Structure formats: structure tokens, C-alpha cells
Structure 1
Amino acid sequence: MFQGFLGTYTPRLDDKNRLVLPARFREQLAEGLVMTRGQERCLCVWPVEGFRQATRRLAEAPMTSRAVRDYQRVLFAGAHDEVPDKQGRVTVPQPLREYAGLVRDCAVIGADTRVEIWAADAWASYLSAQEDTFSALSQEVPPGLL
């Protein structure tokens, strides 16, 4: 069975700003996770080991590059680590909720090595805008990959 994160789910933030992780994601995130800012105003969630792997590669990038320093600052300054509770809930900190525009309805999507959390309306808009691009990009994917 595929070991990455797949699918789209629509949980809600509760009154304590907790999000129930989709049942299919809980086992991979049970030992702990790191949540931080992602691109396009979503949040990215990695299993702790997945975040370590990603940041190891980032640590190998040249510190003389302003783009690398800028990226590291934004990534790590917004990072939050947590272990989900027994019901699979995680708290989404206020700065991250504000960044992603999370109020109540969310879209939680599997993105292979990570999970992304979007405001439900932002995800719907993004997906709608990307439909044609997705179709066109299939021509750029290396032959035989898909």
C-alpha cells in the first residue's frame, strides 16, 4: 500500500482551534508532527522525520544565498511541533491560522510527503484555477511517468 498522504478531507476547527486529523493520516503523524507556513497561504504538516529530512537538505544550501536565508527564516519562525491527542486533534496556533485564513471550515489534503491545511474556500478557488494548468502540465511530465 502507498505510504504517502493522499486524499482531500473537510474537517472544521473546533472552539479551541483544534483540528481533527483525517483518520487515514493519524498513524503516520501519531509520533509527532511539524506544522508551518506553506506556499499559497496554506499550512504544511510533516511527520517529524519527514521535516528532519526536508530541513537537512535545506541546511546543505549555501548560507551565502539571501533566498535560502529568507526561506529558512519564514519556514522555521512559523514552525510549531506537536503530538496529536488520542482523538487525533492538533491545535493550530493563532499566527498560522491567520496566515492561512483559517476560521472554521478547512480542507486537509494529502500531498505525498506532507499534509496541507487550507481554508476550505481558498482550496476550492485554488483547485478551480489549477484545473486547466493541471491538464496542460501533463504534457511536461517526463514520458512514462504518468
Structure 2
Amino acid sequence: MLIGEYSHSLDPKGRVFMPAKFREELGEKFIVSRGIGKCLFVFEQNVWMEFAQKLKTIPITDQKAQVFLRMLFASACECEPDKQGRILLPARLRDYAGFTKEVVAIGVMSRVELWAAESWKEYNEQSSEDYEATLEKLAELGI
């Protein structure tokens, strides 16, 4: 399971260090794509394939879902860490996520999310109330 939060600098070539704990679970090559909320999603290849299989069931007539699928799959790329554990992120993905200097990698069970440090900080501040309310609901359900 992918858990934890790590901060690293984006180098001038657009590479970011992927923490060793994440690389161990993601494998030698993994898929990076646009995420939700100005982050990037990073999936182990088998998890990506399972996700893609589920998405195949979306009707082609669902216009909003088709927009999502186009954005997700057009932005996706396969990444392989170099010997220092860095991955090269394409400019289109760096631009989408607003990466300039610091990148935060967080584990979210079956995926890693990459955030611009400032965006992650803002997200945390804005989501604090939702987190607490959801935690209360889960407690009521016995989870």
C-alpha cells in the first residue's frame, strides 16, 4: 500500500525524485497522467490496466466522461526512474500541475499523487473541514 508524504525539488531538466518506498511498489516502469485537482496520478502498470478496463464500460455517448477519458489517456506516459530514482515528467504534465520548484509525492493507497508544494498546502488548508466531516460520517458507519 502506498502511504506517506515526501517533498523533493524539480530539477532544471524536469525530473523529480520518486521515493524508494514508492518505486518498490510501482515497479520498474509506471504510468503518470493528469490527476484531479491539479495533481498528477502515478500508477503501477497493472493497476493502470485494471483502471483502464473499468473505464472501458463507460458509454461512448456519455460526453462528460469522454472528455475525462480523452484528457486522462492523452496525458498519460510511461516513466522509468533513472539510477538516481528520478523520473522525467513531460512539460505538458509539469505545466498542468503547476510544477516550478518543490514537488510533493503522496501515497494514496493504490496510486501516488504528485503535487506542486504550494498547491498541496492550499489543498490541505481548504480540505480540513471536509476531512473532519467525512471522518465523523465514517465513525457513524462503524468504519
- The Cα shift of 1:29 comes to 2.1
Distance, in Å, in 2 between the alignment partners of 1:108 and 1:99 is 16
Aligned residues: percent identity?
A: 35
1:9 match: secondary structure: strand
- The Cα shift of 1:64 comes to 1.7
Whether 2:20 is the aligned partner of 1:20: answer no
Q: Which of 47, 69, 74 is equivalent to 1:72?
A: 69
> CA RMSD for the aligned pairs?
1.2
Q: Which of 106, 109, 115 is equivalent to 2:106?
A: 109
1:44 match: secondary structure: strand
TM-score, scaled to structure 2: 0.94
Q: Which runs of 4+ in 1 moved over 2 A?
A: 139-142
- Write out aligned runs for 1:25-104 (5 A): 25-104=22-101
Task: Give 2:98's aligned amino acid.
Answer: G
Task: Give 1:143's aligned amino acid.
Answer: L
- The Cα shift of 1:26 comes to 1.1
2:61 match: secondary structure: coil
Matched length: 142
TM-score, scaled to structure 1: 0.92
1:28 match: secondary structure: helix
Structure 2 residue aligned with 1:11 = 8
Distance, in Å, in 2 between the alignment partners of 1:140 and 1:66 is 32
Q: For 1:9-37, what per-residue CA distance to the aligned partner results, in whole angstroms no more than 9, with x for missing partners?
A: 00111121111101211112232111111
- The Cα shift of 1:133 comes to 1.2
- The Cα shift of 1:87 comes to 2.0
Which consecutive unaligned segments of at least 5 residues does structure 2 have? Answer: none
Q: Does the 8 Å CA contact 1:30/1:84 hold for their aligned counterparts?
A: no
Q: Does the 8 Å CA contact 1:29/1:84 hold for their aligned counterparts?
A: no
Structure 2 residue aligned with 1:123 = 120
Distance, in Å, in 1 between the alignment partners of 2:47 and 2:28 is 12
Structure 1 residue aligned with 2:142 = 144
